[in-house]
Every structure is written in structure tokens, then in C-alpha cells.
Amino acid sequence: MPEVRTWQLAAGAAVAGLALAAGAVAAAGPWDSGQRKAEKERAAARSPVGGAHHGTPRRQAPAPAPSAPGVLAALGAPANATAKAAGTTPTDLAKVLAPLLGDPGLGTVRTACVVDLATGRQLFGLGVRQPMTPASTIKIATSVAALSALGPDHRIPTTVLASKDARQLTLVGGGDASLDSAGLRTLADRTVRALRERGVASVRLAYDTSLYKGPVRHPIGPNPNIAPVSALMVGEGRYDEKSTGPAGRSPDPAGDAVRAFARLLGERGIASSPAPAPGRAADGSAPLAKVLSVPLSALVERALTNSDNDIAEALARQTALATGEEPSFEGAGRAVTKQLAGLKLPLTGARIADGSGLNRDDRLTAGLLTALLARAADPAHPELRPVLTGLPVAGFSGTMESRYSRTSPGTGLVRAKTGTLTGVNTLAGTVVAPEGRLLAFAFLAADTPSKEAAQPALDRLAAALAS
């Protein structure tokens, strides 16, 4: 793999997982100085987990002070530690990682890459250029592409268009997979207010999902980990919007959304008939009301922290729309690939078949995953920073909450995107080494016997980098 560019990270960025005063740790757990408030609040509220096989039961967060000995110890490490310090030289890493990579829980094929983000130097590699099924770690690639194409401040609209006499409304999906019931109520409130100003008390209601193209069903088929990919949905098409992890999904999320909107209009005194039907807005229609998603930076963090498949697919299609590709599975794959190529990343052997990683035809290399993380750490690309802040914190948040014990050396120091399909287990992220250096790593395993065997083996690999 070509050597990653050398980037000297500022002190706060180079120890992103370390910027924790002892008092802050005791009060809030290991949140780094770059952690976005939105992500912290979501993790505290235990937002729904959307990734394949990533659903975890709710549990009490670990007690902050006992959970942070590794963090506090690392804070005491010399700030000017060199790459020759024990544990981060290629020879030392090979001695530590090679036996762990031999764990039978990692199946018959495994690849690995470790890069020092302060120097860009590859410290360890095994099959670095070998394409592997990445599972949900592909969300790192999807996120980098979306942020580079659209920017972190981009917001996705859901709009109500009205005919000239405001008696025909069309609910237009813009692709906001994060739209929830609260957002739909806000849209109804704004719509009713505008209609009353025009003296309108009854309307004909239609809905438009034409923004997206191609099949709405993911190639995996009906699956509790993802809804049909529609430009219009509420609560990710879940029958129970408050559910977490894999859950029952509607086969018609757009129809459900417009029917819920019609009910909200009725509750506010605006009758709508006949039943809402799909269709385009009438000629001459103009925007009547609109709601916007949270910024793309927050959507990326949510997709990564919770392994949210619905949002990941939306990010891929938004990338396609921004780059002139068809917003379909195939078009989004082309768009993501082109964006990554524009960032001069090592794409040999890569295949982007979807945005979420549910498709087994996806292929990434360990070298590409670490290069993606290195780009996100590059001060020349601040727009990519949410890729790092969105990574779940070991023992504390998202799909990494239950993966480390309170006493594990990786707790609070490992931040990683998990990937899990039957027979495929992956882990890619960042870790703070004992001397305070920030490393990027990617471990991919295939033909694994079970996630119960593979996940602990992967966690031991990441923890070894921190111990």
C-alpha cells in the first residue's frame, strides 16, 4: 500500500481520544475534546441501533471513574513520545499482533493494517491490499464520500408543495432517513399555519418519492435491519419508532408517512380527501412548508455510532445526487467510488455495492480503511472530522458499548466501527497507544465460526494496541 501522506496532527487532534481531564472523565466518561454535543446526547439517550446483527440490549453505562484507568494513565504519557517507544515499532507490533491474529475465532482469512496517524507510517500489515467483505465498516467509506461531496453542514429537506390555489398538496421526500414523528408534526404545524393564512380548510394530498431511482428493496431482501430505501419515510419505517436494533419494518414506509401526515393535518382542522396517492406536484406548485434534517455531520455520526443502515443508504444516495449519478444502489456505489478516488485513496480491488455494508458483494481492503481514517484525521480535510467523532467509544457508546469490560485496557481508548455479517467480522477505527500516539487500524476476518468467537478476538487486537 502506498504510504499515507505525512500529517502532523495538532495536539488536540493527535490525542483525540485522550483529551480528558480527570474531572471531566468522572463527570461524563471518555468524551474527547472534539466530540460533538449531538453525538454525546444520542449516546446518552441510547438511540436505536440499526446495523446488521449489531443490536445490543440497553444496560447501565459503566461507572465513569473506575472505567477510565487506561485513559488517565495515557494522559500521563510523555507528550513527545517517539515512534520507537515500546509497542509502536513494527517489530514490537508484529510480536504482539501476530499471535492474536492466529485466533481460530477469526476464521480462515484475516487481514490487518495499523498506521501511525502522526507520521502516516504503516506499522503493521497483513494482506493489506487483499479485498475483503467489510460488512458495516463500509460506512466509513460512505461517510467520507458524503462529507466530501456535500460538506458537514448540508441538511436534507422534506417539503410540502402547494398548487396555486393551495388546495392540492404534495408531500415530497428529499431522502431524510432520520425524519421522525416529531419532525413530521413540525411539518404539519407549518403546513396548517400557511393554509390558514390562505383561508384553505380542505386539500387533496399526494406524495412524491421520485427523487430516488431503482429498486427500493436492498438486495438482502426483507430484513429487520433495513427498511425499503425510500426518499420519504418516518422513523426509518419501523413499526415501533422507539424500537432499537433489528425490528419490524413496513414494506411501504412512504405510504405510511403520508398517511400519518394526513392524520396530523386532520387533527389540526385540515381535511384531506380522497386517500393520499403517489404522484408529482401540479404544474405551478410552490413550496408551502419544509423541515430540514440535522446537519450531515450529525447524520454521519449517527450512522457510525449506531451502525444505522437506513441513514447510511441515504448518505450514499445523497452523494449520488450531489455528483450527478443516479440515486440508486448502483449509482450511489459509483458516486461513492468517484469521491474516494478524488481523495486519492488506494481503491484497487474495492467495490461499493451499497452504503450500509449489508451487501456481501462489497469489497474493501484493510489498507483502504486505514487510509480513509487517515484522511479524516488530515487537518487539510476538516470536513471529514465527523468520521472520527462518530466512531463508537469502546465500553461507552453505540455498537462498542458492550464490547469492552470496565477493566479492559481498550475501554475509552479504542474508537471503532464494527462490522458483522454471518461468517464476516470486521473492526476499524482509532486507538491511543500507551505513549499517546494515535493509531488507525483495520482488522477484517472471513469464514468466522461465529460472532461470539470473532468479536472478542477482534477486540483483543484493538486493545493490544492500547495496552
Q: What positions carry a catalytic annotation?
A: 136, 139, 307
The type of residue at 27 is A
- Reference 445, options 107, 54, 102, 100; nearest CA is 107
The 3 state secondary structure assigned to 162-230 is ECCCCCEEEEECCCCCCCCHHHHHHHHHHHHHHHHHCCCCEEEEEEECCCCCCCCCCCCCCECCECCCC
Question: Cα angle at 370 between 447 and 463, to 5 degrees?
Answer: 70
- Reference 378, options 117, 2, 52, 112; nearest CA is 117
The Cα–Cα gap between 108 and 102 comes to 9
Residues 6+ apart with CB under 8 A from 321: 175, 211, 327
The CB-side HSE value for 265 (13 A sphere, CA atoms) comes to 29
The type of residue at 184 is L
Rounded (10°) angle between helices 309-323 and 296-305? 140
User: Helix (H, G, I), strand (E, B), or coil: what is residue 361?
Assistant: coil
